[in-house]
Structure 1
Amino acid sequence: MLKTSSQHSQSIHSVSKIHFAILIIAIIVAGISQGMLLPVLAIFLEKMGVSSTLNGLNAAVLYIGSFGMTLVAERLLGVLGFKKLMLGGLLLVLITLPLFPVYPSIAFWFVLRLLVGIGDSAVHYSAQLWVLMVTPSEHRGRNLSIYGMSYGIGFSIGPLGIKLLDWGIYAPFLLLAGLFLIVVMLVIWKLPNGTPEKTATNEPAQRRFVKSYSWAWYALIPAFLYGYMEAAMNSNFPVYGLRVGFSTGDIAFLLPFIGIGGLILQLPLGILSDRYGRKKMLMICGGLGGLLFLFVPMAETNMIAIAAIFALAGGLIGSFFSLGLAYAADMLPKMYLPAANVLASFHFNAGSIIGPALGGKGIEMGSTASLFWVLGGCYMIFAATGFIFKEKSK
């Protein structure tokens, strides 16, 4: 429960649907920003003659900024509260976005991507923890799936920004900045502030992190794998596609299918996890999703086959972050949830940093298919690891 006082806590609960709707809108727009920036800037750099390794490393900078934010997110949230932390993140991205087309330089974009990563991380951390803490356990899978599905909507829309380049280099960035401005006004107007409820404990923060990890490590791995897949696909697949013979239009058409699959299956998978168990659903989704990624190189340039594979694999893997976080919340005491949320964000950003760099290096070494071999192998290993993980009671 969130509160600044007992009375304020009740007012938050009584209009929680309005707040939830604003959080969903904020996450959709944050998803659009990440879904658009990664492929649009990757295509720019590829056409500028930048190596695929440097292209991937430049994309990873966004997640380095996000990673840095997770290190201080819990402390900042305690000081600023949910609304101020989210508003700060939104404003930082809003100010940064229009600067990208001003000076197309790798060094300049390095700094800008770092700032966008910090801002996006602030929005994600405050929003997802708010949803996690106010949702009862019996609806946790459903609500977090709705949250994740909303991010998937935005992330699926993002690559369409490639089409806006026909209107000029400024068009996608200015349109996205306008969307962020709308969200900023909604947050200022309707969203109340609040901080995580203080729980009586003398346990130091470091110990809460260690215990959260030792009790729920398997539930935190999905965040890493989801971040790896998301960043690698949006940063490396445009390079992969151009080198195997796809046009930029083909790439813009194919990438959203990963998010479309997540939109279709994420809520049903969340509801099934409430009924049959999250560990079981994570293992099934990981095994099948990994197998599907291994089939992508076999499809070569068959648009229909790749679109179908992306939709199915994206549908199965698209729920990984939300299901993993819900699974961790099932196993941990409530006072450990902020720490678990930090760890999940830490894993997501680590995967997002490693994904583009490793994928870009594989492509540069002449093995374009390695992008999907590594993805498929990681998910299948995760599924098999589930057989050795034993849950501990709270």
Structure 2
Amino acid sequence: MSTSTLNYLILITVIVVAGISQGLLLPVLSIFLERQGVSPGVNGLNAAALYVGSFAMTLVAERLLGALGFKKLIVGGLMLVMLPLLLFPYFAELKIWFVLRLIVGIGDSALHYAAQLWVLLVTAPEKRGRYISLYGMSYGLGFSIGPLGIKLLAFGDAVPFLVLFAAMAAVLILVMMKLPDTKPEKAEQGQLPERRFRRSFTWAWYALLPALLYGYMEAGMNSNFPVYGLRIGYDANEIASLLPFIGIGGLFLQLPLGMLSDRYGRKNVLMTAGLGGGLAFMLVPLTGTHFWLTLILLLLAGGLVGSFFSLGLAYAADILPKSLLPAANVVASFQFTIGSILGPNLGGQLINWVSPGSMFIMLGCMYFIFAITGVLFRRKREAEFVLK
């Protein structure tokens, strides 16, 4: 096995455990708070702390990566995620959980930024679609496994956190032993133009919006679906069985959608997937507590929009100069964080003040609007990208 292949597999392993951490923490903690009688609005606000931490890291991630390098940033991210896992079950207070989620968010953001930028920079353009799809599938795999931790609550409230801690400790050892200590190329950094973040968003705003939608969907579903399920009559085991199918759908369709985007264009695939995924989400409230109908809709919706983040990054890489890719990666992470903060909060308020099913109506409308907006982006794509 070549060194580059081994490095890529290690990065994939890191992303899998990062997906597990997000897929497990949000629903398990939401169930704890719902049992304590905390309102959905406060529940969602507390969950958003994770993404406030992620937002804070996004602001300094580029400079930290340049100073520390890929390996040290990944090691630091893993440790920041791991330590709060030992404290969550023993300090069940909203204020303490807010701080702990903040720390987890900082760590998760560091992991994602370092890993996805490394993959983008070292991947040849002709293999970009394949590698980005595999990256997205790896995160989707972890995201799908995470909610199964709800079933471990039967053995004790601390068990899901301890199991996740052990898994992340094993990955930390692997990273420290095998991953090379490298930094971004100085030449690459020197080629970044002034106002690179504004330029990358101005030139590729439609390619970067999927990160916002994916963050909204992921955080909103993980935080609010357990509350939605409990409110309409599902029990914790049924919720634990249903929630992973959003990520499983992404696993099934990630690579096929990536291949279709190579053939028919990434924007066309994003628009079509947005329409189909939005419709599937809007139909969920109509199924009530029909387990299998809900499962099928979540599988379909997750499959269609589960590749939004990776497809959006690939689309941005297609239409932006290479020197703007690091900046575009920061903007995508920023968008993801904003969506992740909005998801639990807006969804929780909708459940609290409108109806449990209104969270799905809002989600579907957002994807519809995104798909329609794609027509406007096509009309405006006339200027060539010339760096001055």
Q: Flag whether TM exceeds 0.5 (same fold).
A: yes
Tell me, yes or no, if the aligned pair for 1:140 and 1:274 is still in contact at 8 Å. no
Partner residue in 1 for 2:347: 359
Tell me, yes or no, if the aligned pair for 1:149 and 1:266 is still in contact at 8 Å. yes
Task: Determine if the alignment matches structure 1 residue 189 to structure 2 residue 177.
Answer: yes
Distance (whole Å) between structure 1 residues aligned to residue 126 and residue 374 of structure 2? 23
Partner residue in 1 for 2:371: 383
Cα drift, residue 215 of structure 1: 0.4
Distance (whole Å) between structure 1 residues aligned to residue 297 and residue 153 of structure 2? 27
Cα drift, residue 202 of structure 1: 6.7
Distance (whole Å) between structure 1 residues aligned to residue 246 and residue 188 of structure 2? 43
Structure 1 residue corresponding to 2:13, chosen from 20, 25, 32: 25
Distance (whole Å) between structure 1 residues aligned to residue 177 and residue 117 of structure 2? 21
Cα drift, residue 366 of structure 1: 3.5
Tell me, yes or no, if the aligned pair for 1:58 and 1:110 is still in contact at 8 Å. yes
Distance (whole Å) between structure 2 residues aligned to residue 23 and residue 386 of structure 1? 32
Task: Determine if the alignment matches structure 1 residue 316 to structure 2 residue 308.
Answer: no
Cα drift, residue 393 of structure 1: 4.1
Counterparts in 2 of 1:393 and 1:194: CA distance versus 1, 3 Å: farther
Report sequence identity in percent: 63
Counterparts in 2 of 1:28 and 1:204: CA distance versus 1, 3 Å: closer
Partner residue in 2 for 1:266: 254
Cα drift, residue 100 of structure 1: 0.5
Structure 2 gap segments, 5+ residues each: none
Partner residue in 2 for 1:66: 54
Partner residue in 1 for 2:209: 221
Counterparts in 2 of 1:168 and 1:217: CA distance versus 1, 3 Å: same
Cα drift, residue 232 of structure 1: 0.6
Counterparts in 2 of 1:205 and 1:365: CA distance versus 1, 3 Å: farther
Distance (whole Å) between structure 2 residues aligned to residue 272 and residue 200 of structure 1? 31
Cα drift, residue 135 of structure 1: 1.2
Tell me, yes or no, if the aligned pair for 2:192 and 2:323 is still in contact at 8 Å. no
Structure 2 residue corresponding to 1:48, chosen from 18, 36, 40: 36
Give deviations 1:6-36, integer Å, cap 9, x for gaps: xxxxxxx952110110011111111111000
Partner residue in 1 for 2:332: 344
Distance (whole Å) between structure 2 residues aligned to residue 100 and residue 145 of structure 1? 33
Distance (whole Å) between structure 1 residues aligned to residue 377 and residue 125 of structure 2? 21
Structure 1 gap segments, 5+ residues each: 1-12
Runs of 4+ residues deviating >6 angstroms: 200-205
Distance (whole Å) between structure 1 residues aligned to residue 33 and residue 188 of structure 2? 52
Secondary structure, counterpart of 1:389 in structure 2? helix
Secondary structure, counterpart of 1:387 in structure 2? helix
Task: Determine if the alignment matches structure 1 residue 92 to structure 2 residue 71.
Answer: no
Give deviations 1:156-189, integer Å, cap 9, x for gaps: 0111111111111111111101111111111111
Distance (whole Å) between structure 2 residues aligned to residue 274 and residue 202 of structure 1? 31
Cα drift, residue 199 of structure 1: 3.4
Task: Determine if the alignment matches structure 1 residue 118 to structure 2 residue 118.
Answer: no
- The count of aligned residue pairs is 382
Cα drift, residue 150 of structure 1: 0.5
Counterparts in 2 of 1:200 and 1:352: CA distance versus 1, 3 Å: closer
Distance (whole Å) between structure 2 residues aligned to residue 173 and residue 297 of structure 1? 31
Q: What is the letter of the counterpart of residue 207 of structure 1?
A: R
Cα drift, residue 206 of structure 1: 5.2
Distance (whole Å) between structure 2 residues aligned to residue 209 and residue 238 of structure 1? 36
Give deviations 1:197-246, integer Å, cap 9, x for gaps: 23378777651111101100000000000000001101011111111111
Secondary structure, counterpart of 1:199 in structure 2? helix
Distance (whole Å) between structure 2 residues aligned to residue 234 and residue 276 of structure 1? 32
Give deviations 1:14-70, integer Å, cap 9, x for gaps: 521101100111111111110000000000000001011000001111011001100
Q: Where do residues 279-318 of structure 1 align in structure 2 (5 Å cutoff)? A: 279-318=267-306
Partner residue in 2 for 1:211: 199
Partner residue in 1 for 2:245: 257
Give deviations 1:48-106, integer Å, cap 9, x for gaps: 01011000001111011001100000011111111111111001111221111111111
Counterparts in 2 of 1:234 and 1:201: CA distance versus 1, 3 Å: closer
Moved more, 184-193 or 220-229: 184-193
Tell me, yes or no, if the aligned pair for 2:191 and 2:323 is still in contact at 8 Å. no
Tell me, yes or no, if the aligned pair for 2:141 and 2:251 is still in contact at 8 Å. yes
Tell me, yes or no, if the aligned pair for 2:21 and 2:164 is still in contact at 8 Å. yes
Distance (whole Å) between structure 2 residues aligned to residue 281 and residue 111 of structure 1? 39
Structure 2 residue corresponding to 1:147, chosen from 109, 113, 135: 135
Tell me, yes or no, if the aligned pair for 1:138 and 1:274 is still in contact at 8 Å. no
Distance (whole Å) between structure 2 residues aligned to residue 367 and residue 175 of structure 1? 35
Partner residue in 2 for 1:9: none
Tell me, yes or no, if the aligned pair for 2:192 and 2:324 is still in contact at 8 Å. no
Cα drift, residue 268 of structure 1: 1.2
Distance (whole Å) between structure 2 residues aligned to residue 206 and residue 59 of structure 1? 35
Partner residue in 1 for 2:92: 104
